[in-house]
Amino acid sequence: MAESGAFLRMEEQDLAGKRVLVREDLNVPVRDGVVASSARIDAALPTLRHCLDAGAAVIVMSHLGRPKPGPIDPALSLAPVATALTEALGLAVPLVADWEHGALVSPGQLALLENVRFCPGETENDDTLAQRYASLADIFVMDAFATAHRAQASTHGVARFAAVACAGPLLAAELDALDRALTAPARPVVAVVGGSKVSTKLAVLESLADVADTLIVGGGIANTFLLAAGQEVGASLAEPELVEVARRIAGKVNLPLPVDVMTAPSADDSAALLRLAGEVPEGETILDIGPESARRCREVLQGAGTILWNGPLGVFERDHFGEGTRVVAEAVASSSAFSIAGGGDTLAAVEKYGVADGVSYLSTGGGAFLEYVEGKPLPGVEVLKQRRFG
């Protein structure tokens, strides 16, 4: 777990009567002016309620999408999020675009700043903008793990200039869970990494090969490892130029390859064909692992002490190519291991197969999750550590 003294935590602060600026990840899907999924809002609510119950004057900021800095684009306004917060908290949550003039809220009230990415200098981590954010608060709370890998004015710069900078419960819980899995894990450690290309997850695979006892690969990533083992993959997505890299990784960790696969003719993926791995004809594409491979994955996962899962094992959005991912999802959930599932596609699979309650920790971090597993420092976390000891 992250050392309790590595950074200040929000729960340790006296918030009564204080102006508290909270950076959350409220980058939610919006359709026809209405929030389509409130998962990220729901995750932030305990933090916000804690601040309100403590008697703080609360200001929340977040980004939404990738607007250009400048005039407000109504399609990327946080107005629907303000409405959703109003309903969830049971108090009026004003959306404030012109936030530099005077006090925004009183103790026990909460306001939401307009999308920070409309502000010139946000993505450039401009010092002047960061200082203006810091002037709004007595205490800055960084609670958005999903944006912690970006050095921006609302995630990193503001923490440099705020009177007090601390980690919110969501951020701290994420770091605690990841550190538990990576720093002193219960063994054996089993990592499951799926996805389309080795190149996009090369650093993660390299890092996990040093941490894990067993590394299970799926999706297009597995095809490159099959190629490295001298097996035919037909017309499947693979990266022949990374075969030597795959061999090097496979030489560092127990890496069981699929023994059977589900394929489809390249011109027609309406049905799944069962093939032995290495016997995939030229005109067919691997789109899932086969039932025997899935059974072996289940066996390994059920004996694990710690599980890290990022990426599906096939094209799970289509049911006839989702069995490998379903079996793995259910095995992770039924295992007694401490388990973390992270990444957008992974969380979609967890939701599809209804296994969320069986996973110890669901990481919404996406890019931040991968970078932390790679061992990269996250600017939004490092600045909190520097402020703690600086």
CB contact at 8 A, 40 and 80: no
Sheet of 361-363: strands edge to edge?
A: 214-217, 189-193, 306-310, 338-342, 361-363
Phi, psi of 341 (to 5 degrees): -120, 130
User: What is the radius of gyration, based on Cα positions, of the chain?
Assistant: 23
Beta pairing partners, 273: 263
Distance CA 346, CA 341 (A): 7
Element (H, E) at 329: helix 323-334
CB contact at 8 A, 13 and 166: yes
Beta strands in 223-305 (DSSP E): 232-233, 260-265, 273-276, 279-280, 284-289
Tell me, what DSSP letter sits at residue 267? Answer: T
Query: How many CB atoms neighbour CB 66 within 10 A?
Result: 9
CA distances from 218 to 114, 224, 343, 363 (A): 41, 10, 15, 20
Number of residues written out for the chain: 390
Distance CA 100, CA 90 (A): 26
User: What is the set of active-site residues?
Assistant: 40, 197, 344, 367
Beta pairing partners, 348: none
Nearest to 324 by CA among 313, 339, 309: 313
In single-letter form, the type of residue at position 278 comes to G
